[in-house]
């Protein structure tokens, strides 16, 4: 029996064990079951290959081709389901095209059995092999596509490792067929296939990708356990076996019992020891958290704070599960504001978890210390109430998927103690006691800084409320002014139409002129009222007629309308469209209204002529956070906007134009907001302004950023950053900040 046959047998047994372990872990999750189906199919192919090599039977060689033909659809079904997980965000796509090729392969095998054994012919084996390995390479290609489309760094790394490992394993498995063509080549494909499938199984068991250090640890644990099993079996069989078959079976039975008894504690001991050794370098975690703490000094937006903390923890490679809970407006409970890993409950009721929250308010909770304290109390009835309270705290901490829970304490005092603004829960499920005292102190400082951000936000919201009332006053004054002017003109014209005696004047040229003034001013008044109603109604038109929108098509229609407008007669309009721009969900007519308004404003900002550049591109970040966005940018070479006016751009009726109502861009902002997007503004006086509309993109698996498709553009800038296009430091106004119309 040659090496390839033995290698196939070992691969069949080990891959079968890997698939069974995943299936036993969870038989209800579709991702788990599809992986098990894929592993069982590969195992069946390896087993049939072994039997065919060992016996040389043509029938078995033919049977081996059936699981081989089934490998591509099961592999694609698993990987596409795996990539469609919410944490990765890929699209749901069944392997329809692959199934068609699978049916064709099945028909060829049936023909080979019934009519003529074509499966032994080289002209059949080559396309059949291309079909099998082509399907596997298609899985790698799907992972590569998803790697380019994934925004989160941790998930991008996860998919990148899987794609690279899959490519290497498939390629080496393909080289195992070289000896059949007379080429000397070591049998390594089966070994890599086993390791790769084991690696995938571990990524299913744990949310986080196993990084390189942890992968080394896993391999060390597995290798040590294999050596231990080999030692137990070998010792008993060589020492007591005596060459007798009955004693060998008895020794195998005894060794199996010994292994089952020792396996779990030995594995836990090895995993904890090796993991502690591998993750003892804590510089990255502390460095990231210290950097986030410094960044939070200038942050007042709570959502931005939560996103920064969660991202830093997720990318630290030291935290596998984390969650942030914030006190709701009523003070009746804590809502989950952000999390990754195994998701904890959405809400923590303050009444139900009162004892737990009281303990957290005093200081952070350590799950290991709680368990130790609970065990030390023993069964003494005198400590029954205390033991019950600790047990409840342990249960609540475990429900939060946490090993450590830190309070976000405010400066205000209550009857129970400091005001509890929220909770920070973290865990590293790879080892017990994974965080030392320095780590705990770093988390505590981070929680304290997060509490300061929440209090700053509350103060900021109070200032915003006062500003809102002041803006309402300005809006009311502007509305009164816009209405009073046409009413005054109407009144004056009407008085001139009535003579001194109170009778109507005789018809004449002056009468027609006065009537024209009245009609014009009534139309102007009607326009003011209509646009004000549009502004007031914008929040209530949410998602009406929402559909899948091609943003490039909307921009093209806008450009056609701009070319027909009077304002654009001296303007050079340059358009650059990203042909791979993902679609968005929205109302195309409403988006045309927004884009046309931005374009006309840009043209009006260049009365002497200039250049208006309109471009579309993909972005992974905006003031809304990380994600997939379609950006439409309007850049003019006009007179620009003064910095002191940027903050007033969203106030209705605020305008720098002599005949403008100041409502056009306020309505545009409302429309973009109800599409889930935002408008960002950069401007430099004397050089021009840039208005960027960010719209959340629909997930599209084929979105690939290539230099040929679109020139590289800078990521979304923070307020006060240097403009990547002009090099000037300009103000950035997001959300409610807009240019005067």
Higher pLDDT, 389 or 175: 389
Tell me: pLDDT of 702 over 50: no
Higher pLDDT, 740 or 371: 371
CATH at 60? 1.20.1070
Do the beta carbons of residue 285 and residue 318 sit within 8 Å?
yes
Mean pLDDT of the region 705-731 = 35
**Domain final position from 539, 561, 594:** 539
H helices of 400-545, where? 437-497, 509-537
pLDDT value, residue 218: 63
Residue with tokens 């039997």: 51
Assess whether 194 and 220 both reside in one domain: no
* pLDDT, tens digit (0-9, with 9 covering 90-100), for 297-339: 888 888 889 999 998 888 877 788 899 999 988 788 999 999 9
CATH at 323? 3.30.450.40
**Does 334 fall in a domain?**
yes
Assess whether 666 and 611 both reside in one domain: yes
Per residue, what are the HEC states of 73-91?
HHHHHHHHHHHCCCCCCCC
Structural domain count, the chain? 5
Tell me: pLDDT of 731 over 80: no
**148-152, 286-290, 667-671: the lowest-pLDDT one:** 148-152
Burial 625-649 (b: 16+ CB within 10 A, else e): beebbbbbbbbbbbbbbeeeebebb
Dihedrals phi, psi of 463, to nearest 5 degrees: -65, -40
CATH at 675? 3.30.565.10
* pLDDT, tens digit (0-9, with 9 covering 90-100), for 541-558: 444 556 888 999 999 998
**Does 740 fall in a domain?**
no
Helix, strand, coil shares of the chain, percent, nearest 5, are: 60, 15, 25
CATH at 526? 1.10.287.130
Q: Which of 648, 662, 656, 667 is nearest to 533 (CA)?
A: 667
CA dist 547 and 301 (Å) reads 31
**Domain final position from 183, 205, 227:** 205
Mean pLDDT of the region 147-158 = 76
pLDDT value, residue 122: 80
H helices of 498-624, where? 509-537, 551-564, 588-604
Structure tokens at 710: 């679109």
Higher pLDDT, 226 or 65: 65
Q: Which of 107, 108, 79 is nearest to 94 (CA)?
A: 79
CA dist 685 and 159 (Å) reads 45
Do the beta carbons of residue 733 and residue 686 sit within 8 Å?
no
**Does 299 fall in a domain?**
yes
Structure confidence at residue 735 as a pLDDT band (50, 70, 90): very low
Tell me: pLDDT of 457 over 90: no
**Domain final position from 278, 310, 332:** 278
**Does 672 fall in a domain?**
yes
Higher pLDDT, 429 or 68: 68
**Does 739 fall in a domain?**
no
Do the beta carbons of residue 641 and residue 709 sit within 8 Å?
no
Structure confidence at residue 246 as a pLDDT band (50, 70, 90): low
pLDDT value, residue 720: 35
Dihedrals phi, psi of 401, to nearest 5 degrees: 55, 45
* pLDDT, tens digit (0-9, with 9 covering 90-100), for 489-531: 677 777 667 766 656 666 667 677 777 777 777 777 776 676 6
- Rounded to whole angstroms, what are the CA distances from 455 to 294, 321, 441, 595, 718? 17, 26, 21, 38, 22
pLDDT value, residue 276: 58
Q: Report the Cα–Cα distance between both ends of the chain, in Å, rounded.
A: 84
Tell me: pLDDT of 423 over 50: yes
Average pLDDT, the chain: 77
Structure confidence at residue 4 as a pLDDT band (50, 70, 90): confident
pLDDT value, residue 318: 79
Q: Give 198's contacts (C-beta < 8 A, 6+ positions apart).
A: 18, 222
Assess whether 693 and 724 both reside in one domain: yes
Tell me: pLDDT of 693 over 90: yes
Assess whether 159 and 81 both reside in one domain: yes
What is the domain range of residue 488?
Answer: 472-539
Q: Give 727's contacts (C-beta < 8 A, 6+ positions apart).
A: none
Assess whether 220 and 344 both reside in one domain: no
Tell me: pLDDT of 632 over 90: yes
CA dist 357 and 349 (Å) reads 10
CA dist 515 and 523 (Å) reads 12
Structure confidence at residue 728 as a pLDDT band (50, 70, 90): very low
Tell me: pLDDT of 201 over 60: yes
- Rounded to whole angstroms, what are the CA distances from 94 to 28, 87, 148, 159? 19, 19, 20, 19
pLDDT value, residue 616: 93
Burial 121-143 (b: 16+ CB within 10 A, else e): eeebeeebeebbbebbbbbbebb
Torsion-angle region of 609 (φ positive above 0: left; ψ -120 to 50: alpha; else: beta): left
Assess whether 380 and 443 both reside in one domain: yes
pTM over 0.75: no
Assess whether 694 and 582 both reside in one domain: yes
Q: What percent of the chain has pLDDT over 90?
A: 18
pLDDT value, residue 483: 72
Tell me: pLDDT of 672 over 80: yes
pLDDT value, residue 721: 36
**Does 284 fall in a domain?**
no
Q: Radius of gyration over alpha carbons of the chain, in Å? A: 35
Q: What residues does 397 pair with on adjacent strands?
A: none
Structure tokens at 46: 């390896």
Higher pLDDT, 334 or 620: 334
Assess whether 657 and 552 both reside in one domain: yes
Assess whether 637 and 525 both reside in one domain: no
Assess whether 432 and 363 both reside in one domain: yes
Assess whether 444 and 476 both reside in one domain: no
Assess whether 258 and 242 both reside in one domain: yes
**Does 741 fall in a domain?**
no
CA dist 135 and 73 (Å) reads 7
- Rounded to whole angstroms, what are the CA distances from 84 to 36, 89, 91, 383, 514? 17, 5, 5, 50, 68
- Rounded to whole angstroms, what are the CA distances from 625 to 305, 308, 333, 461, 676? 10, 9, 26, 20, 12
**89-98, 257-266, 688-697: the lowest-pLDDT one:** 257-266
Structure confidence at residue 187 as a pLDDT band (50, 70, 90): low
Tell me: pLDDT of 160 over 70: yes
Tell me: pLDDT of 474 over 90: no
Q: At what angle do helices 58-83 and 96-114 cross, to 10 degrees?
A: 170
CA dihedral for 393, 395, 398, 400, sign (positive or negative): negative
Tell me: pLDDT of 686 over 50: yes
Q: Give 45's contacts (C-beta < 8 A, 6+ positions apart).
A: 64, 67, 68, 71
**Does 426 fall in a domain?**
yes
**37-46, 180-189, 434-443: the lowest-pLDDT one:** 180-189
Q: Which of 43, 79, 235 is nearest to 701 (CA)?
A: 79
Structure confidence at residue 660 as a pLDDT band (50, 70, 90): low
Mean pLDDT of the region 676-689 = 87
* pLDDT, tens digit (0-9, with 9 covering 90-100), for 557-581: 989 888 888 888 888 999 999 988 8
**165-179, 312-326, 639-653, 712-726: the lowest-pLDDT one:** 712-726
């Amino acid at each position: 029996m040659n090496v390839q046959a033995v290698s196939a047998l070992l691969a069949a047994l080990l891959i079968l064990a890997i698939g069974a372990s995943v299936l036993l872990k969870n038989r209800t999750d579709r991702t788990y079951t599809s992986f098990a189906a894929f592993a069982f199919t590969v195992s069946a192919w390896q087993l049939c290959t072994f039997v065919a090599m060992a016996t040389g039977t043509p029938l078995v060689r033919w049977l081996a081709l059936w699981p081989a033909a089934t490998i591509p659809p099961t592999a694609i079904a698993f990987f596409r389901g795996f990539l469609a997980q919410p944490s990765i965000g890929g699209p749901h796509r069944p392997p329809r095209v692959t199934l068609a090729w699978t049916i064709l392969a099945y028909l060829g095998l049936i023909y080979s059995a019934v009519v003529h054994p074509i499966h032994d012919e080289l002209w059949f084996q080559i396309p059949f092999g291309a079909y099998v390995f082509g399907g596997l390479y298609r899985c790698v290609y799907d992972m590569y596509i998803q790697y380019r489309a994934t925004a989160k760094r941790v998930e991008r790394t996860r998919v990148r490792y899987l794609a690279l490992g899959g490519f290497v394993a498939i390629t080496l498995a393909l080289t195992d067929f070289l000896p059949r063509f007379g080429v000397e080549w070591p049998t390594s494909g089966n070994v890599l296939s086993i390791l790769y499938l084991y690696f995938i199984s571990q990524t299913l068991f744990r949310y986080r990708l196993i990084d390189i250090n942890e992968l080394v640890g896993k391999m060390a644990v597995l290798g040590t356990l294999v050596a231990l099993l080999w030692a137990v079996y070998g010792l008993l069989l060589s020492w007591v076996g005596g060459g007798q078959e009955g004693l060998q079976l008895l020794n195998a039975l005894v060794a199996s019992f010994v292994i089952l008894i020792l396996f779990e504690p030995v594995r836990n001991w090895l995993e904890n020891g090796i993991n502690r050794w591998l993750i003892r370098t804590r510089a990255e975690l502390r460095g990231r958290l210290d950097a986030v703490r410094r960044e939070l000094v200038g942050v007042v937006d709570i959502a931005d704070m939560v996103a920064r903390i969660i991202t830093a923890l997720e990318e630290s490679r030291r935290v596998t599960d984390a969650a942030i809970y914030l006190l709701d407006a009523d003070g009746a409970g804590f809502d989950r504001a952000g999390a990754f890993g195994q998701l904890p409950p959405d809400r923590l009721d303050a009444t139900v978890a009162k004892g737990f929250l009281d303990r957290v308010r005093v200081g952070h909770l350590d799950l290991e210390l709680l368990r130790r304290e609970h065990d030390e109390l023993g069964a003494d009835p005198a400590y029954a109430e205390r033991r019950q309270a600790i047990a409840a705290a342990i249960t609540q901490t475990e429900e939060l998927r946490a090993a450590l829970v830190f309070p976000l304490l405010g400066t205000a005092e209550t009857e129970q103690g400091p005001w509890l603004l929220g909770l920070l829960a973290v865990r590293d499920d790879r080892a017990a006691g994974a965080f030392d005292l320095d780590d705990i102190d770093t988390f505590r400082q981070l929680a304290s800084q997060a509490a300061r951000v929440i209090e700053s936000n509350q103060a900021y919201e109070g200032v915003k409320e006062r500003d809102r009332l002041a803006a309402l006053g300005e809006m009311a004054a502007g509305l009164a002014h816009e209405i009073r002017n046409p009413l005054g003109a109407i009144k004056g014209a009407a008085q001139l139409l009535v003579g001194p005696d109170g009778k109507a004047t005789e018809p004449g040229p002056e009468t027609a002129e006065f009537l024209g003034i009245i009609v014009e001013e009534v139309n102007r008044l009607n326009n003011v009222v209509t646009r004000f109603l549009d502004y007031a109604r914008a929040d209530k038109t949410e998602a009406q007629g929402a559909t899948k929108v091609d943003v490039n098509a909307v921009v093209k229609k806008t450009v056609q309308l701009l070319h027909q407008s009077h304002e654009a007669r001296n303007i050079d309009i340059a358009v650059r469209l990203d042909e791979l721009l993902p679609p968005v969900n929205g109302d195309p007519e409403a988006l045309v209204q927004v884009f046309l308004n931005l374009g006309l404003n840009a043209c009006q900002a260049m009365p002497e002529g200039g250049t208006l550049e309109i471009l579309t591109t993909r972005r992974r970040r905006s003031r809304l956070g990380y994600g997939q966005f379609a950006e439409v940018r309007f850049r003019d070479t006009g007179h620009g906007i003064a910095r002191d006016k940027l903050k007033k751009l969203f106030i209705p009726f605020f305008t720098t134009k002599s005949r403008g109502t100041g409502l056009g861009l306020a309505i545009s902002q409302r429309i973009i907001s109800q599409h889930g997007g935002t408008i960002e503004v950069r401007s430099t006086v004397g050089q021009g302004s840039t208005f960027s509309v960010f719209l959340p993109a629909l997930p599209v698996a084929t979105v690939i950023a290539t230099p040929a498709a679109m020139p590289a553009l800078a990521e979304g800038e923070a307020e006060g950053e240097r403009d990547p296009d002009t090099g000037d430091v300009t103000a950035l106004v997001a959300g409610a900040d807009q240019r005067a119309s």
